[in-house]
Amino acid sequence: MEIKILGTGCSKCKTLEERTRKVIKDAGIVASIEKVEDIVEIMKFNIMSTPALVVDGKVVAKGRIPSAEEIKEFLTR
């Protein structure tokens, strides 16, 4: 599984990354996480507000920080 956290480095983006890493660790999910801060790369996902969570190339959340339960749901579908 490939996970990308899209954001320019704001506190919300950092919170989303920390929360996602914790969910992965706690659930024993095997995944690679990449933090994407380059605005040109972020724009390729056609989002207008960050942070955003991308799982296997699909944007599953944008413009907000999903709860740990939501993140786990996104990753275990």
Catalytic machinery residues: 10, 13
Helix (H, G, I), strand (E, B) or coil at 38: coil
- Close Cβ partners of 31 (under 8 Å, ≥ 6 residues apart): 1, 2, 3, 24, 75
Cα distance between residue 61 and residue 43, in whole Å: 15
